[in-house]
Chains A and B, each alone.
Chain A
């Protein structure tokens, strides 16, 4: 019965129309805000991804600097020609960070 009155009101009164309109607007706003919040969460996630990417980069850099200062024994030997002293090759990567390809390091023996 109320619905009928409402329908009647919508058809006859501009005041009644505003109520529905406000409700629709709020609904729209809420849905839009929720979507944006989702977007924000995504933005946060992207940002922390960028942050961790940078941290991995710094870790890779630090490992390489350490390797240059204190050579490791687990390096592949590259012989640039048979008589040459060995050139040591290592691919430095961070375990579990597949998205970050390893960095190649060459190091002369002496």
Chain B
């Protein structure tokens, strides 16, 4: 007959093994969870990196685009703001479950484009199977369709498809990060005339009658007063009758206008009257220069230019353009010293002159100084000015991360 104790040891052993196995299984589960967490942290962080890549892409694109065309998209019509997440490339929910390689935008409003060519029609595919998608929208202080203040929002969505699927959330396939940046594309130096004088008084020396200030469809000279101004009188008094004929624009000569009302009323120009604007600009300028061959150039102590330059030339002190010097774009002469145009120097674009004291709370103007001899020419060229302005990077006014709970 068999004893009831038979098999006890084996059963105990089996139970112990079972106990240890369950412990091991528990640990295995925990390790799997930790592994998933490590992978998830990696994908989440990479999606953030990708989203920021999109913002950098937008930063590069923005100076070159006309904002109102961009906002309307290639079809030329704004599709409205019915979708609560219309500012984003796509809603969060969709971003989490789509196959990023097969994304088709519901609307083309604000999608990156240049010269009627879509740039990221299928998003940007990055290393490591990541993507980013971009959409621009007008800042909420203005209507969705029309921009006036040159401020725009850009939302960039970074997507990293999940490598590990979660059986509890099968519809969640991607790690997603959404960043919104607020940019302003600076147009303060989008000058209205070949020669724009910002100040209250000036010394002008026109030695010959061969020079030319040609405004084409615009005024030849625009004057902007900071406060009580004698600038117009100073200018007119310095010109002989024959010399006045050399300042042409809108089919008339002399073509000189007081642009102060336009500058005071237009929002984009108002910062020019604030000392902080000038202090910031002059302090940061050296960090943004490209070189003397093109782009943004800065001559803090003036100098002599005899060759060609394309872009934005900023100078303080005495700046002399002589021989066959050519500037295509913008010449900003700021501060004390004279701007001297000699020989056959030519500027295609526009010249801005100001000599300001921005040390106090109120901007003060000091006399401008312009000397012209020989047969130099300043020819208004809107396209050259627009091209030059693309060298100014957009000003970043904000940068935030959006979440499903806070996105609108």
Within the complex, are A and B direct neighbours (CB within 8 Å)?
A: yes
Instruction: Write out the residue numbers on chain B whose beta carbons fall within 8 Å of the beta carbon of A17.
Output: 6
Judge whether A101 and B128 touch: CB under 8 Å: yes
Given contacts A47-B34, A80-B60, contact A103 B128 (CB under 8 A): yes
| Docked complex Cα distance between A85 and B61 (Å) | 8
CB-contacts of A45-87 with B (<8 A) = 46-47, 49-51, 53-54, 57, 60-61, 64, 68, 80-81, 83-87
Instruction: Write out the residue numbers on chain A whose beta carbons fall within 8 Å of the beta carbon of B24.
Output: 36, 39-40, 43
Judge whether A50 and B38 touch: CB under 8 Å: yes
What's the least CB distance linking A95 to chain B, in Å? 16
Judge whether A61 and B45 touch: CB under 8 Å: yes
Interface bin, chain A? 35 or more
Judge whether B60 and A84 touch: CB under 8 Å: yes
| Docked complex Cα distance between A26 and B38 (Å) | 39
Judge whether B31 and A47 touch: CB under 8 Å: yes
| Docked complex Cα distance between A85 and B20 (Å) | 63
Given contacts A39-B24, A104-B126, contact A50 B31 (CB under 8 A): yes
Instruction: Write out the residue numbers on chain B whose beta carbons fall within 8 Å of the beta carbon of A102.
Output: 127-128
Instruction: Write out the residue numbers on chain A whose beta carbons fall within 8 Å of the beta carbon of B390.
Output: 83, 85
Residue A6 interfacial (CB < 8 Å): no
Judge whether B38 and A106 touch: CB under 8 Å: no
CB-contacts of B327-345 with A (<8 A) = none
CB-contacts of B1-24 with A (<8 A) = 1-3, 5-7, 9-10, 12-14, 16-17, 20-21, 24
From A24, A33, A53, contact of B10 by CB (8 A) = A24
- Of the candidate stretches B51-59, B68-76, B189-197, B203-211, the one touching chain A is B51-59
Instruction: Write out the residue numbers on chain A whose beta carbons fall within 8 Å of the beta carbon of B2.
Output: 14
Residue A1 interfacial (CB < 8 Å): no
Interface bin, chain B? 35 or more
What's the least CB distance linking B295 to chain A, in Å? 8
| Docked complex Cα distance between A57 and B46 (Å) | 9
Closest to B387 in A: A83
Instruction: Write out the residue numbers on chain A whose beta carbons fall within 8 Å of the beta carbon of B128.
Output: 101-104
| Docked complex Cα distance between A64 and B265 (Å) | 44
Given contacts A29-B17, A80-B57, contact A18 B5 (CB under 8 A): yes
Instruction: Write out the residue numbers on chain B whose beta carbons fall within 8 Å of the beta carbon of A53.
Output: 35, 38-39, 42
Judge whether A104 and B114 touch: CB under 8 Å: no
Residue A108 interfacial (CB < 8 Å): yes
What's the least CB distance linking B25 to chain A, in Å? 10
Judge whether A57 and B64 touch: CB under 8 Å: no
Judge whether A103 and B59 touch: CB under 8 Å: no
Judge whether A50 and B60 touch: CB under 8 Å: no
What's the least CB distance linking B393 to chain A, in Å? 4
What's the least CB distance linking B280 to chain A, in Å? 15
Instruction: Write out the residue numbers on chain A whose beta carbons fall within 8 Å of the beta carbon of B403.
Output: none
Given contacts A46-B35, A102-B128, A110-B288, contact A33 B20 (CB under 8 A): yes
Residue B349 interfacial (CB < 8 Å): no
Judge whether A106 and B56 touch: CB under 8 Å: yes
From A28, A47, A81, A103, contact of B46 by CB (8 A) = A103
Judge whether A83 and B38 touch: CB under 8 Å: no
From A25, A33, A81, A103, contact of B127 by CB (8 A) = A103
From A18, A49, A105, contact of B9 by CB (8 A) = A18
Judge whether A105 and B53 touch: CB under 8 Å: yes
Instruction: Write out the residue numbers on chain B whose beta carbons fall within 8 Å of the beta carbon of A87.
Output: 56-57, 60
From B13, B38, B393, contact of A29 by CB (8 A) = B13
Residue B384 interfacial (CB < 8 Å): no
* Besides the known contacts A43-B24, A47-B31, A106-B56, 14 further A-B residue pairs in the complex with CB atoms under 8 A apart: A25-B13, A29-B16, A32-B13, A40-B27, A50-B34, A53-B35, A81-B117, A84-B64, A84-B114, A104-B49, A106-B57, A108-B60, A109-B393, A110-B393
7 A-B pairs closest in CB distance? A25-B13, A104-B127, A106-B53, A110-B393, A108-B59, A104-B126, A25-B9
Q: List 11 A-B contacts (CB under 8 A).
A: A17-B6, A25-B10, A32-B17, A53-B35, A54-B41, A54-B42, A81-B119, A84-B64, A87-B60, A101-B128, A110-B288
